[in-house]
Amino acid sequence: MCGIFACHHHPNVAAFKPKALQLSKLIRHRGPDWSGNVTKNSTIIAHERLAIVGLDSGAQPLVNDDETLILGVNGEIYNHRVLRKELGDAYSFKTQSDCEVIIPLYTKYGLDAPNHLDGMFAFVLYDAVKDRIIAARDPIGITTLYMGRSSKQPGTVYFASEMKSLVEVCDNIISFPPGHIYDSSSDELTQYFKPSWWDGEKVPSTPLDYSAIRTTLESSVRKRLMSEVPYGVLLSGGLDSSLIASIAARETARAQKTSTNGQLTGVDEEGQLSGAASWPRLHSFAVGLPGAPDLLAARKVADFIGTVHHEHTFTIDEGLDALHDVIYHLETFDVTTIRASTPMYLLSRKIKAQGVKMVLSGEGSDEIFGGYLYFGAAPSKESFHEETVRRVKNLNLADCLRANKSTTAWGLEARVPFLDKAFLELVMNIDPAEKMITKDRMEKYILRKAFDVSTYGNDASLSEEDRKPYLPEDILWRQKEQFSDGVGYSWIDCLKDTAELMVSDDQLANPKPHWGDDVPETKEAYWYRCMFDEHFPTKTCADTVMRWVPKADWGCHADPSGRFVKSHNSAV
């Protein structure tokens, strides 16, 4: 990941430049490898770089030959090799950066350029000839982006990878909506990502195809191994991270048989990976309190798939000590996100210290498959599908935000194969009756079956490698354990107990006036909101936050922890 800061139509951009560089520096943790900036007309784009692809020549902002197009990007474009070939000689590439393709795509397709990208991204591009800036964010919002304005300068618009870079200069800030593009020429945000399942009203009816689920997810993981630096996998021992780790271990072994030979790293037209850098064996990373259920399960998976496994523990006190910093980096006061982000934040620092810049992670599976235990209360397939769509739409304010900011706090990049565009299109169009939790089918049943080699019998199309089990049986069929629970049940219990000490009954009963109708319902939520206010005291900042809660009208417990769902089987 990288960090971007941009300002367009500033009344005195030369005088503003020193301040712009200070604001960009606030997000240097996202890109500690290099800083760059370009000023043109009344626009400035600043960039903090984390070098993963195009190490020697990918410094940003990127510019075209006559320096009339200036680009700042935070992201990874997995199909850049294919796009370069399609574009032919129409554009003279200056770097091996995967992101440079955005410049010729804009020249050729204009505002439709993001639809040609396969990856996670947030970018701003300035067209000096038209004095026009455009900004876009990936379809699901894996990569963070904020947009701001100031009432003192109504014609100026700001963009930044994190909200903290905008607070000082903007009194109106929004989380840039995923799947949208902004055009300063019209001063409008337009949705470019419009999949068939997006409105949630039309219930899909595509028949289930286990083989398609397996091969499409494998392709998604393969794309995300595009890297010129060592990478690893986050391994909690749950189904999602374990499957990603298992596939990545297989793909890494295959990638070891090829060498870069000066090639661009990435996948070709046939979806084959080349030029990926890694250690001889895949490294996996797990975190938890001593004896946590996730640590035990992760160790079993690592032994089974043959990764070099790194097990990191943290103490309750270390977690509590990190809360202020976690909230500063996450820019949220949501209870679920903070609970889960703190262990991930602590682990990310350890991973970066071990020489890794990129990891694969399992976010998104529960949203697209309806894997949270409360989905077991869905009254119909129609409501089940509607809830999966709602969860996917909110990922940018929940699990994607957590995965992005917990890792980038330490200059680490997290990639999420379950949110690949092709995989989303496949799974979100499956008849939701196949996904429902019943007395005969546990959560994410069809994902488990897709990677259960016994499902395919004597299918002659499977290679010898594909016939090998992906995971131990008890891991493949392990019940959902939310990350904040799996790191050790005492973690959430201690947060609640500490909140009881930090917040009085009188305080809870008398919320602060500036909170308006957004009132915390528990002492833990009240405590987090107070810490958030210390960093981000304005209402416009608080308005960017979404609370993750189960669906109340399905009879769900008020606490978002999966432990409070009746179907949960305690691991301890």
Is 2 assigned a catalytic role?
yes
Q: Is 413 helix (H, G, I), strand (E, B) or coil?
A: strand
- Distance (Å, rounded) from C-alpha 9 to C-alpha 12? 9
- Distance (Å, rounded) from C-alpha 424 to C-alpha 68? 36
Point out the catalytic residue in the list 2, 7, 400, 556.
2
- Distance (Å, rounded) from C-alpha 476 to C-alpha 243? 8
- The string of DSSP letters for 162-214 reads SGGGTTTT-SEEEEPPTTEEEETTTTEEEE----TTTTS-SPP-BPP-HHHHH
Phi, psi of 381 (to 5 degrees): -70, -30
- Distance (Å, rounded) from C-alpha 290 to C-alpha 488? 8
Local structure of residue 479 (DSSP, 8 states): P
Q: Which secondary-structure segment (H or E) carries 134? A: strand 132-137
- Distance (Å, rounded) from C-alpha 325 to C-alpha 339? 13
Angle at 475 between CA 469 and CA 477, to 5 degrees: 95
Q: Are strands 69-77 and 153-160 parallel, antiparallel or unpaired?
A: unpaired
- Distance (Å, rounded) from C-alpha 493 to C-alpha 490? 5
Tokens 């990856």 correspond to 119
- Distance (Å, rounded) from C-alpha 57 to C-alpha 105? 20
- Distance (Å, rounded) from C-alpha 173 to C-alpha 153? 14
Report whether the peptide linkage leading into residue 61 is cis, meaning its omega lies within 30 degrees of zero: yes
Which residues are the active-site residues?
Answer: 2
